[in-house]
Amino acid sequence: MQVKDRVLAALEASRGTYLSGQALAQQLQVSRNAVWKAISQLRESGYPIQAVSHRGYCLDVDSPLLSPQSIARHLTVPGLQVEVAQTVSSTNTLLRQRAEEGAPEGLVLAAVEQTAGKGRQGHSFFSPPDTGLYLSLLLRPKLSAQDALLLTTCAAAAVALAIEACAGVEAQIKWVNDVFCRGKKVCGILTEAALDLESGGLQYAIVGMGVNLFPPAGGFPADLPQAGAVYTARPQGLESRSQLAGEILNQFFAFYPHLEEKPFFQAYRDRSLVLGREVTVLERGQTRTALALDLNPDFSLQVREADGRERALASGEVRVKL
């Protein structure tokens, strides 16, 4: 770990409190000149670090910048390797490359902007700078391809619970992978996986979550009428992006060791946006209307078709008028 990363970790651990250059140098076992250079590098990267004579250095308590250290302040999960980039093509794409290179489970990549964000079925994902949180997890679960849906539903429940804990707003889940607040979509989830042909199970999986935290300047594009944000305006005095990232990871990895037992099923079902509603089912290029009745234990959606017959949807997409 570079000196600037160690200095940042020390400042993050004492946000709002001044640490002298001498104290930092002794704590990190480096020279005071190395501390000064690290502070200069961090400031150049945009970190709001105050310096006061005879007091030392202090990281602004309300700093909105995302870093591994700022996320770590909110983490209760041990053993995760969190990396942060301000701008990436796609967190899923980059993490998939790392997976192919043999990176271990528990690698997390977070970003605040994507230039080529990915959605389901080849769609792009609107990822403007400084208004969202884009987070991907590398997993190596002992799971069959048929059970891969558990990763997506686990992530949806984790995001919904994290939003409620951090922002205090109700979150709902549109089957199977979208999270809504106030009737608007605030999060999309994309799970990609590689199959182990010998075992028939997953070699690895990448679970990507894109969360709209704040409305972008000028609002969302006209071709995204359902898009919304967790916060209707940028909150003051709140380290919202790092806090939400940490809480999503806490929620997800609390469920993950018990994935096949589905401990998140009730949380997911309780927050369903579609149950009891008339939905439009998109399947194999065709659309039809059905009534969403219930969520089955395998997370398939039980619907009643227009002819009165019931069936379980294991894949596809549904739309609902709000």
**CATH at residue 160:** 3.30.930.10
Say how many CA atoms lie within 13 Å of 104 toward its Cβ.
Answer: 5
Q: Are residues 53 and 154 in the same domain?
A: no
Does residue 176 share a domain with residue 53? no
46 and 195 share one domain: no
Cis peptide leading into residue 176 (ω within 30°): yes
| Number of folded domains that form the chain | 3
CA distance 136 to 139: 10
User: Same structural domain for residues 253 and 111?
Assistant: yes
Above 60 in pLDDT, residue 200?
yes
59 CB-contact burial (10 Å; exposed 0-12 / middle 13-18 / buried 19+) = buried
Give the model confidence (pLDDT) of 205-235 as tens digits: 999 999 999 888 888 888 888 899 999 887 6
What token pair was written down for 11? 């400042």
The answer to whether residues 170 and 224 belong to one domain is: yes
Domain check: are 93 and 202 in the same one? yes
CATH number reported for the structural domain that contains residue 302 in this entry:
2.30.30.100
User: Residues 246-286: pLDDT tens digits?
Assistant: 999 999 999 999 999 999 999 999 999 999 999 999 988 88
Buried (b) or exposed (e) across 101-117, using 16+ Cβ within 10 A?
Answer: eebebbbbbbbbbbeeb
Domain identity same for 134 and 256: yes
Q: Are 168 and 129 contained in the same domain?
A: yes
CA 213 from chain centre, in angstroms, equals 11
Are residues 114 and 220 located together in one domain of the fold? yes
Stated pTM of the model: 0.85
Its domain, for residue 292, covers 278-320
**pLDDT over 70 at 236, yes or no:** no
133 and 103 inside one domain: yes
Based on the domain organization, do 43 and 157 belong to the same domain? Answer: no
